[in-house]
Amino acid sequence: MRDKSYDEQIVRWVEFVRDNPISVWKPEVKKVVDTQIIMANRFYKRLAKTKGGKEKIKELRRI
């Protein structure tokens, strides 16, 4: 269960997005999303090098 501070951060972010144009907050979101994609790609490359890794990747993509 998340604590009150987490909920407060969500509320602050929602208010920030609501009160500011997309040009202000989109670059911040883009950084986070791009980083997540990069980290996922690195994970898949490392997994593919392990025994049975390619099969695991196929299973993950199927899900």
Range of the domain at 48: 22-63
H-state helical runs in the chain: 4-19, 22-48, 53-62
Chain segment 11-47, per-residue pLDDT in tens? 999 999 999 999 999 999 999 999 999 999 999 999 9
Buried b (16+ CB within 10 A) or exposed e, 45-59: eeeeeeeeeeeeeee
The number of distinct structural domains making up the chain is 1
Let me know if residue 40 belongs to a domain.
Answer: yes
Let me know if residue 36 belongs to a domain.
Answer: yes
Let me know if residue 15 belongs to a domain.
Answer: no
Let me know if residue 44 belongs to a domain.
Answer: yes
Q: Please, which pLDDT band fits residue 1 given cuts at 50, 70 and 90?
A: low
Average pLDDT over residues 55-63: 90
Let me know if residue 43 belongs to a domain.
Answer: yes
